[in-house]
Amino acid sequence: MVKKWLHIGSHAFTMIAKFTPNHQPFVEKLNQKLPMKTQDKIRAIRTQQKISQKQMAERLELTPQAYSKIESGKTKLNLDRIQQIAHILNIDVTELIHNNDNGVFLLINENCTNENLNNGAIIYHSNPNHEQNLVHENDKLQLIITHKDEIITQLQNENSLLKQMLDLLKSNQSQ
């Protein structure tokens, strides 16, 4: 199965991550700090959960040296490996890829088509307030549209009145 991550723009969509109660505050705290690379988050969460590098390596079926290269950033992580690590750490994969830049990550596999996105496209985002921001933005735009419509109506009425005045002036001149 082919899977790819695509980073899109700076706007985000909402997908709520599921955590066990004891991990959520720690992960949220991580995400509020300066941007962290994925390998740094893995190390921080692993350390917080008191899991050794050797234990992680065993669970991932890697040598301790190979796992150490993941945390040091010498080994590039693919989606499957990130999902395995997230599963072991009992967190959502979105928390490991969260960039603190409000970017959108779109997961696509080979079953995904334009006609049927449900077969393989998942959109992750990194801004939990984005939905609320969109609602506020929508409200503002609706007010602008309403105001514009009122101005159009007012101008149409004014135009009609001016036409009547012009017709009246023309009729007075012809008499």
Distance separating alpha carbons of residues 23 and 106, to the nearest angstrom:
24
Distance separating alpha carbons of residues 127 and 145, to the nearest angstrom:
27
pLDDT for residue 79: 82
Distance separating alpha carbons of residues 47 and 54, to the nearest angstrom:
12
State whether 148 and 124 are in the same domain.
no
State whether 133 and 111 are in the same domain.
no
State whether 104 and 153 are in the same domain.
no
State whether 170 and 112 are in the same domain.
no
Per-residue pLDDT of the chain (175 residues; tens, 9 = 90+): 444 444 333 333 323 233 334 445 545 554 554 467 888 889 989 999 999 999 999 999 999 999 999 999 898 888 889 889 999 999 888 778 765 444 555 554 555 455 544 444 444 445 556 677 788 888 888 999 999 999 999 999 999 999 999 999 999 888 7
State whether 92 and 150 are in the same domain.
no
Distance separating alpha carbons of residues 126 and 93, to the nearest angstrom:
12
pLDDT for residue 25: 52
The number of folded domains in the chain is 2
Residue 158's CB is within 10 A of a number of other CB atoms, namely 10
State whether 152 and 163 are in the same domain.
yes
Q: Are 5 and 79 in contact (CB under 8 A)?
A: yes
State whether 119 and 153 are in the same domain.
no
- Give the tokens for residue 158: 């004014």
Q: Are 52 and 60 in contact (CB under 8 A)?
A: no
State whether 144 and 134 are in the same domain.
yes
pLDDT for residue 127: 56
Residue 35's CATH number = 1.10.260.40
pLDDT for residue 11: 32
State whether 97 and 173 are in the same domain.
no
Distance separating alpha carbons of residues 99 and 12, to the nearest angstrom:
11
State whether 108 and 163 are in the same domain.
no
State whether 124 and 158 are in the same domain.
no
State whether 77 and 28 are in the same domain.
yes
pLDDT for residue 95: 79
pLDDT for residue 136: 84
Residue range(s) defining the domain that contains residue 34: 3-128
